[in-house]
Amino acid sequence: MKVRNDLRNIAIIAHVDHGKTTLVDQLLRQSGTFRENEQVAERALDSNDLERERGITILAKNTAIEYKGTTINILDTPGHADFGGEVERIMKMVDGVLLVVDAYEGCMPQTRFVLKKALEQNLTPIVVVNKIDREFARPEEVVDEVLELFIELDANDDQLEFPVIYASAINGTASTDPTKQDENMEALFDAIIEHIPAPVDNSSEPLQFQVALLDYNDYVGRIGIGRIFRGEMKVGQQVALMKLDGSVKHFRVTKMFGFKGLKRLEIEQEKAGDLVAVSGMEDINVGETVCPVDHQEALPVLRIDEPTLQMTFLVNNSPFAGREGKYVTARKIEERLHEQLQTDVSLRVEPTDSPDKWIVSGRGELHLSILIENMRREGYELQVSKPEVIVKEIDGVLCEPVERVQVDVPEEYTGPVMESLGARKGEMVDMINNGNGQVRLIFMVPSRGLIGYTTEFMSLTRGYGIINHSFDSYQPMQKGQVGGRRQGVLVSMETGKATSYGIQQVEDRGTIFVEPGTDVYAGMIVGEHNRENDLVVNICKVKQQTNIRSSTKEQTVGMKKARIMSLEEALEYLNDDEYCEVTPQSIRLRKKILDKNEREKAAKKKKLSSQS
């Protein structure tokens, strides 16, 4: 069998924050891809604003480097389970993976998730133990953990013989010896060339190209990025696009791009094994196959895990609607959601019986909150409901998504964490004491029990705990209420500006969410009540002026700091009868029914119907 020894295709996979993108940076730098004087940002592949701000990878990206006459195509994948749809598609485009594991943290829930995907595709692994220079690094134990994980995930004998490279991506060093580092990353480059299989060269056979990623460009429209599995492809060629619904469309390849470093270069022709971007097809989707008109043979469709969480998106109808946003109409919001569907295969958008409401389903809270954050930055105004898990009927049994949760906490907090997750129907499956005062707990918890849990977890562990979770499976639904917020809220009774005096009058009733001078409206949530019921308050109250000078006039009263929520915190905080109003400048929480009397009537009605 003929192979292309001048080419290797690899994906870099890891748990979030184990150093994938920093590692790619060093590989780019040390391969001589950049000119000596070229200015390159850190985490060069994380190019969009949200990725740079949060230090996470959201979209899979590809780049190519040259090393000793061999082209290495590298795909950097996200570490969060919410962007797992990106990881699944990438696995089809490569022949091997670099599994990056932190030398101190070891195997985490996402390590398990991404490795499972790689082993399912029968890819060749190389394990990179990164951050070897960290304090308390324990490389040998981490390698044992990785081996156990491989065995647990039913790796075959060849996969179990994985080579191990010890690296410090931040310092740009690597070696095969855990006790000392070489001056550069040659050990890693050599391991890629030696262990990752070269692609098969079947370029004399009829063309087969499958789209794994989508991009969009104002000049050329939709761009399909994928791998040529067979044959050759050139500009000007007439080809057939095998659609997912079984139909076939014909088109001409107008432009092709190859990858070099961070650049896309126009190319005329590529062959089996190459990763290319192709334009000329307006209506191309992920998983579709491009082949010759006279030899139509589709590749197996890419399987993408189904969404597990859904929210209702609706047009903003609050009293402040239209004040800050550029795009506020149902038509604009619907267009934007459909535009998102073109590049995000893990997302679903379904219409409802109302023209200004849509049910949007995704892989998790982060997945949906990133979409909302992008929309508000682009000038959209909208409202969203509390996230809900998607339940399915499997063999006549109602099932819900269950997540594998890994918690790392100092020993003294294990009791409260076990108690709080137990209350959310969590089941502990493992407990590991590393002997350094830190304990690792592993639970299986229904996804609905985790909605809103992060804030509680952070206050339970005083910020010292680390929690990670990823979707495990669908299991029979547990009875009764799981999780949810226990506290009631403080609701504004009138529209106006919040005053210092008004806030001082109610701050002993709970935690305030707004600062003096903030515009509020009747029905808007302005704080959390100390008790379980909701309380209507007048936060716009002004101190009565008198013409008698008070003896305490000059004294100033100290006010507690308002709790300002991020978008994720606001979404987690919501209850069933509340919306989160999102605009380019504000995130407000509100009751679905703004009028106090109407709200009380609806609550009574609900109580009566639940009793009957």
Binding residues: 17-22, 130-133
* Host H or E run for residue 30: helix 20-30
Contacts of 533 (CB under 8 A, 6+ apart): 488
Contacts of 538 (CB under 8 A, 6+ apart): 492, 493, 494, 502, 505, 506
C-alpha separations of 217 from 19, 153, 278 in Å: 30, 40, 12
* Distance separating alpha carbons of residues 17 and 466, to the nearest angstrom: 13
Radius of gyration of the chain (CA): 27
Residue in the structure block whose two tokens are 């939709």: 222
Side-chain half-sphere exposure of 63, counting CA atoms within 13 A: 25
* Distance separating alpha carbons of residues 192 and 23, to the nearest angstrom: 14
Task: Point out which residues pair with 399 in neighbouring strands.
Answer: 392, 476
Q: Strands 466-476 and 397-410: what pairing?
A: antiparallel
Judged by DSSP in three states, 224 sits in strand
Residue in the structure block whose two tokens are 């119907």: 609
Side-chain half-sphere exposure of 468, counting CA atoms within 13 A: 18
Phi, psi of 122 (to 5 degrees): 60, 40
Judged by DSSP in three states, 270 sits in strand
Binding residues for GTP: 17-22, 130-133
DSSP assignment of 475-510 equals EEPPPS--S---S-EEEESS-EE--HHHHHHHGGGE
Judged by DSSP in three states, 126 sits in strand
- Closest among 448, 430, 429 to 439, alpha carbons compared: 430
- Closest among 261, 266, 276 to 212, alpha carbons compared: 276
Cβ atoms of 580 and 574 closer than 8 Å: yes
